[in-house]
Amino acid sequence: MSSQRVLRGVTKLWSLVRPISHARQQAVRRAVPMSLSDLGLRYTDQSGEEEEDHESEEQLQHRILTAALEFVPAHGWTAEAIAEGAQALSILMLPHNIPSSLSLLTSMVDDMWHYAGDQSTDLNWYTRRAVLAGIYNTTELVMMQDSSPDFEDTWRFLENRINDAMNLGHTAKQVKYTGEALVQGLMGAAVTLKNLTGLNQRR
């Protein structure tokens, strides 16, 4: 799977998740007096909406935005709404909520990889999701503190992190190939030595 595709897939999904984060912020404001499992439920409604279709980008984004906009009647992408996001994050961090916020994170990351075309069925399945979860969390934190126009800093941060992850994958592969080549070289040297000392011959 090319790094280009993954980068595109993740930024695509990130742009879809953005309105969801936003809706989540509004949901938090309403959910605080209510039970917190409702919060989890509402968030997943939004992401359920996200998962269900394979329509074109624009249509899907439009539908999510429309759904999110129900929750965002008067605000746009204002600083005030983002401040709500910080509060939303802190509510998700309450020990009482950590199991459900973890399961939300894992199902979201699983969906991201699925729609980016991941087909791994071994330990890669776990490492890829762990890496993406790390990227998502750090980028979300950056977004909460971002004050640049249209979140340019956040997008740049995201691209850098994704490039880091790609490089890590490539480096790991190269280390593995180098190791294998080294082992073969050593085996060759051993066979040569055996030949030289005549241990390979049968008298």
Partner 1 sequence: MSCAQLMGSCFPWRLGTVAPRHLSAYGRRISVRFCSSGLTLDKISRAAVDRIIRVDHAGEYGANRIYAGQMAVLGRTSVGPVIQKMWDQEKDHLKKFNELMVAYRVRPTILMPFWNVVGFALGAGTALLGKEGAMACTVAVEESIAHHYNNQIRALMEEDPEKYNELLQVIKKFRDEELEHHDIGLEHDAELAPAYAVLKRLIQAGCSVAIYLSERI
Does 127 sit near partner 1 (CB under 8 A)? no
As measured in angstroms, the least distance from the Cβ of 84 to partner 1 is: 20
**DSSP 8-state symbol, 93:** T
Distance in angstroms (rounded) separating the CA atoms of residues 70 and 62:
13
Residue 51 or residue 153: which is nearer to partner 1 going by CB?
51
| Nearest distance, CB of residue 70 and partner 1, angstroms | 7
Please enumerate in sequence order all residues whose Cβ is within 8 A of that of 151, keeping only pairs 6 or more positions apart, or say none.
143
The single-letter DSSP state of residue 145 is: T
- Cα 175 to chain centroid distance, Å, stands at 25
Work out whether 48 is an interface residue with partner 1 (CB under 8 A): yes
Shortest CB 146 distance to partner 1, Å: 27
Neighbours of 81 (CB within 10 A): 17
Contact pick of 45, 140, 146, 153 for partner 1 (by CB under 8 A): 45
Identified binder of partner 1 from the candidate list 12, 51, 153, 159, rule CB under 8 A: 51
Tokens of 192: 């040569």
Q: How many residues interact with partner 1 (rule CB under 8 A)?
A: 36
Residue type, 95: P
Q: Which is nearer to partner 1, 98 or 189 (CB)?
A: 98
**Applying CB under 8 A, does 56 fall inside the site for partner 1?**
no
3-state secondary structure of 53: coil
Cα maximum dimension of the chain:
94
What is the smallest separation between the CB atom of 106 and partner 1, expressed in angstroms?
8
Q: Hey, which residues between 61 and 90 contact partner 1 (CB under 8 A)?
A: 62-64, 66-67, 70
Per-residue contact track with partner 1, 5 to 44, x per CB under 8 A? --------------------------------x--xx-xx
The DSSP annotation for 65-120 comes to HHHHHHH-SS--S-HHHHHHHHHHHHHHTSGGGHHHHHHHHHHHHHHHHHHTT---
Number of residues in the chain: 203
d(CA 145, CA 120): 35
Q: What does the binding site for partner 1 look like in residue numbers (CB under 8 A)?
A: 37, 40-41, 43-49, 51-54, 62-64, 66-67, 70, 99-100, 103-104, 106-108, 110-111, 114, 119, 121-123, 125-126
